[in-house]
Each structure stands twice: as structure tokens, then as C-alpha cells.
């Protein structure tokens, strides 16, 4: 399984949808709260060039926003 990292904020609806999706599909993930972690916020901006969340890094493939179809494809979920 690919390593999954999500850069999120506590109040982001789409971030919460993504985390619910991961849990429902048994995908373990690392979460970084970019509202409080300035270092991880900079890391996210360096990866994407923007501040929008969620940013999901699935095995090196970066997805901005909650795109369920793309996540299923990248993670091999049917």
C-alpha cells in the first residue's frame, strides 16, 4: 500500500471527507494540521504552490482537493 499523507485544517469540510474516505477504505494515513504546523504548511506550499487544502500525497502523487475518483485510481480501490 502507498504511503498517504494529508495536509489539512480542522475546519475543512473536504479534508474531513477525505479522512472519512480513508478510514472507510482501510487506508492508513499521516495527517498534518497546516493551521497550526507552520513547517508542514511550508512543505505543502512547496509541493503545490498554493495554500488550498486538502493536499493529499499518495505515494508521491499529489492530489489537491478531495477527488474521490482520482484517489480510488491512485490507491487501487474499486
- Are the C-beta atoms of residues 8 and 19 closer than 8 Å to each other? yes
Q: What pLDDT, on the 0 to 100 scale, is given for residue 46?
A: 96
* Local structure of 32: helix, strand or coil: strand
* Total number of domains constituting the chain: 1
- What does the mean pLDDT of the chain come to? 96
The enclosing domain of 35 has a CATH number of 3.40.30.10
Range of the domain at 34: 4-75
Rounded to two decimals, the pTM is: 0.94
Confidence grade of residue 35 (pLDDT, cut at 50, 70, 90): very high
Mean pLDDT in residue range 54-70: 96
Amino acid at each position: 500500500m502507498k504511503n498517504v499523507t494529508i495536509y489539512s485544517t480542522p475546519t475543512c469540510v473536504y479534508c474531513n471527507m477525505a479522512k472519512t474516505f480513508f478510514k472507510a477504505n482501510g487506508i492508513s494515513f499521516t495527517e498534518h494540521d497546516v493551521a497550526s504546523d507552520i513547517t508542514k504548511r511550508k512543505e505543502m506550499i512547496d509541493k503545490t504552490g498554493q495554500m488550498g487544502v486538502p493536499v493529499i500525497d499518495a505515494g508521491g502523487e499529489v492530489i489537491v482537493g478531495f477527488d474521490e475518483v482520482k484517489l480510488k485510481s491512485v490507491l487501487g480501490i474499486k
